[in-house]
Amino acid sequence: MMKTNKFLAAAFVAFVSVGAYAQTVDEIVDKHVAALGGADKLKGVNTLIIERTLSVQSMEIPNKTTMVVGKVLRSESTVMGNSMIQVSDIKSGWMIRPAMMGGTGEPEDMPADQVKQQASQLDPFGALVNYKEKGNTIELVGTEKLNKKDVYHLKVTSSDGQSHDEYVDASTFLVSKITVVAQGQNAEIEFSDYKDVEGVKYPYMLEMSNQMGNLAFTTNKIAVNTPVDEAIFKKPTK
């Protein structure tokens, strides 16, 4: 009888443990949106100005990104005293690259494939938020361990057939990692140090890795709904 009771107790614990992670995709996404701050708060973010420091090969590169959410963004970095600017919307873009980065220091059109890559950055809250309206489909691959923590492994496929994987922390319901194939290379982005800014959580640490090496972005400041002069997005005339 004692063995039977122990077996039933163990079975009950196992059942409860499994049940705790038996989430549907929509339940995970709903909890993710709530963890970020809730749908209303996310919809209320119209502009973002994010100041970061990029660490690469012992260099510290300051970066400032100014974004009108869903419409256009400008990213400006200073590399060894040289300014690099990238501006893009959904359909087109332009950039200024110094000679040390293969440019002329003059404004030039951004290649179409780069514009496409940049487009994802116009959506600062990621592919899970409002995924149905965006035409994305999500598959729950399963639960896994990431840095000793339980995560939900989700496969996200966009309307154009492109897919990537997202790993959502089973406790916080914030994204811990994204893996993607870009230009034939596997790349990973890990997100950590989430902080609350005006009711919305943003990851202040982003670590990227691929076959070329590792990059780390440390966020220094985020300004929300600051007025933006849209003239900064216009391509300068020579």
- The answer as to whether 9 is a domain residue is no
| Enclosing domain of residue 62 | 23-233
pLDDT category at 214 given cuts 50, 70, 90 is confident
Tell me the C-alpha distance between 22 and 144, whole Å.
13
Which CATH number belongs to the domain containing residue 131 in this structure?
2.50.20.10
Total tally of structural domains belonging to the chain: 1
162-181, pLDDT tens digit by residue? 899 999 999 999 999 999 98
Q: How confident is the prediction for the chain on average, in pLDDT?
A: 89
- Bridge pairing between strands 213-224 and 72-79: unpaired
Is 47 within 8 Å of 68 (Cβ atoms)?
yes
Q: Tell me the three state secondary structure of residue 189.
A: strand
- The answer as to whether 104 is a domain residue is yes
- The answer as to whether 2 is a domain residue is no
95-144, pLDDT tens digit by residue? 999 887 788 889 999 999 899 888 888 999 999 999 999 999 999 999 99
The whole-model pTM stands at: 0.85
- The answer as to whether 228 is a domain residue is yes
